[in-house]
Amino acid sequence: MKTSALLLSLMMLASSCGQKSTIKTHVEARALGDGEHVTFPIVIPLSEKSIATFKSPVGDMNPLFRGFASSLMNLGASMGAGKTRLTLTQPLPEIPDGYLASIKIKRIFFFIEKTSDKSENFDFLRKLAVKVKATTINRDNPTWEPTVDTGSMSHNELSFFDSLFPSRRNRQAQDWEKNAPGLLLIKYNEDHRTESLMGDEVGTINIIQTDKPNATRKYLEEQYGAYFSRIHTLSKSIIVEFKKDPVLEEMFKTRLSNDALKVEELGIGEINPCSNNVCMDLKVPDVDLIPMLKEGNALKIDAYIDPKHAPDSFQLKGFLEFEVKIKAKI
């Protein structure tokens, strides 16, 4: 019964793409198939409201998606408070065998939205590391709510994460990263940004501010959809990623400037290209999470944050993209 329910929910979610949703969880309308598997990209917007109301239509996997999304939003809150540690423990459902082939995290994208006259950027962040592993907890309490700890790090914990960022790269550090328990999901170092962030493998991203996000997104999809490889709504910001052709970005801006009346009607304001100062398109390992998740009944996410200072005022937004692959023949 669970197998049929999850498979049906995936199909319904794919077919309902584009319909009005207060959650704005997004699954590509075109699922990809290779004859043996069907692949669904699931994109979860990260904003100040999306996590509190998030409920994945992929029913059985909801706690898993919620856990990752909640940890990333709590990560933003920890950065803003100048914290150096975040640990989130998320109870997990039983991973169904037989039809769920793989679950991968494909993209973690952050951007800082201006909240005052003073613009904040990621220059305040020296280092960021996130490690994920399965754990076992007492499940007498049936709740799926995660537990969050942002207390200070012990000396041993600090040494544990500091070893990720040696002043000189050495074989011992590389062996630790490879063999330590869990998955090193994020490793950002401001001194080595090109190694930490996505590069030419993704298209140019612009952030569009608007007073009417739903109407603006509909207008952009209908009039300029051929230019984009993705478009997401985050509160009053629209993220557009252009297809990998530099001419398309210029064509888009030229056409949009010629449609001044529509731009004014929709309240479209600044259109800012992403730079490493305000956007973080993080590299993530291409790893199937299922073997790790089967090792326990909960997910433990540990984050180490090394800020130069606590930002005055900022709001972390972005999106988290999963790739869920199911077997075509069950």
DSSP 203-229: --EEEEEES-HHHHHHHHHHHHGGGEE
**φ, ψ for residue 300, nearest 5 deg:** -110, 120
Contacts of 71 (CB under 8 A, 6+ apart): 86, 88, 90, 130, 146, 301, 303
The pLDDT tens digits for 119-130 are 678 888 888 999
Three-state DSSP string of 238-255: EEEEECCCHHHHHHHHHH
Question: Between these two residues, 307 and 311, which has the higher pLDDT value?
Answer: 307
**Residue 174, Cβ neighbours under 10 Å: how many?**
11
Average pLDDT over residues 223-232: 92
Q: Model confidence at 243, in pLDDT bands (50, 70, 90)?
A: very high
At residue 264, the pLDDT reads: 94
Average pLDDT over residues 233-246: 88
What's the token pair of residue 43? 């994109």
Q: Model confidence at 9, in pLDDT bands (50, 70, 90)?
A: very low
Helix (H) or strand (E) holding 261: helix 260-266
What's the token pair of residue 101? 């082939």
At residue 236, the pLDDT reads: 83
pTM, two decimal places: 0.80
Q: Model confidence at 167, in pLDDT bands (50, 70, 90)?
A: low
CA-closest candidate to residue 296, choices 174, 137, 146, 164:
137
